[in-house]
Copies of this chain bind each other. A is one copy, B any other.
Amino acid sequence: MQLRVPGPTPCPNEVLQAMSRQMIGHRGKEFGELMRHITDGLKKAFQTKNDVLILTNAGTGGLEAAVVNMLSPGDKVLSVSCGVFAERFADIATQYGAEVDHIRFEWGEASDPDVVRQRLQNNTNYKAVLVTQNETSTGVTDDIASLAKVIKEHDKLMLVDAVSGLGAIDLPVDEWQCDVVVTGSQKAWMIPPGLSMISVSEKAWQAYKEAKMPRYYFDLGKAKTFLEKDQTPWTPAVSLFYGLEAALELMEAEGLANVFARHTKVATTIRSGLKSMGLSLFPKNESIASDSVTAVRVPEGVDVNKLRQVLREDYSLFIAGGQQKLGGKIFRIGHLGWVTEKDAEEILASVKGALPKVGFSPR
Is A349 close to B, CB under 8 A? no
* B56 and A235 contact, CB distance less than 8 A: no
Given contacts A22-B11, A95-B215, A217-B61, contact A192 B239 (CB under 8 A): yes
Copies per complex? 2
Q: Which of A13-21, A172-180, A299-307 is found at the contact surface with chain B?
A: A13-21
Is A290 close to B, CB under 8 A? no
Cβ contacts A to B, 14 pairs, < 8 Å: A3-B22, A5-B25, A8-B24, A8-B235, A9-B23, A11-B22, A16-B21, A23-B192, A58-B236, A64-B216, A193-B235, A193-B238, A194-B239, A239-B243
Is A57 close to B, CB under 8 A? yes
* B16 and A3 contact, CB distance less than 8 A: no
Is A184 close to B, CB under 8 A? yes
Most buried by B among A10, A26, A92, A214: A214
Q: Write out the residue numbers on chain B whose beta carbons fall within 8 Å of the beta carbon of A11.
A: 22-23
Given contacts A28-B318, A95-B216, A193-B236, contact A8 B23 (CB under 8 A): yes
A186 CB contact (under 8 Å) in B8, B23, B214? B23
Determine the residue in chain B with the shortest Cβ distance to A233: B60
Is A213 close to B, CB under 8 A? yes
Given contacts A22-B11, A25-B3, A237-B240, contact A96 B214 (CB under 8 A): yes
Q: How far is the CB of A214 from chain B (nearest CB, A)?
A: 5
Most buried by B among A7, A28, A192, A320: A192
Size class of the A contact interface (CB-based, 8 Å): 35 or more
Q: Write out the residue numbers on chain B whose beta carbons fall within 8 Å of the beta carbon of A59.
A: 234-235
Docked pose: A20 CA to B242 CA in angstroms: 12
Docked pose: A264 CA to B218 CA in angstroms: 36
Docked pose: A184 CA to B92 CA in angstroms: 25
Q: How far is the CB of A301 from chain B (nearest CB, A)?
A: 25
Is A97 close to B, CB under 8 A? yes
Docked pose: A3 CA to B233 CA in angstroms: 20
Q: Please give me the 8 A-B residue pairs with the lowest Cβ-Cβ distance, nearest first.
A: A194-B237, A20-B20, A58-B234, A8-B23, A192-B239, A193-B235, A61-B217, A60-B234
* B235 and A186 contact, CB distance less than 8 A: yes
Docked pose: A96 CA to B16 CA in angstroms: 39
* B217 and A214 contact, CB distance less than 8 A: no
Q: How far is the CB of A66 from chain B (nearest CB, A)?
A: 12
Given contacts A214-B97, A215-B95, contact A56 B193 (CB under 8 A): yes
* B238 and A95 contact, CB distance less than 8 A: no
Q: How far is the CB of A111 from chain B (nearest CB, A)?
A: 23
Determine the residue in chain B with the shortest Cβ distance to A20: B20
Docked pose: A64 CA to B22 CA in angstroms: 28
Is A101 close to B, CB under 8 A? no
Q: How far is the CB of A243 from chain B (nearest CB, A)?
A: 8
Q: Write out the residue numbers on chain B whose beta carbons fall within 8 Å of the beta carbon of A92.
A: 216
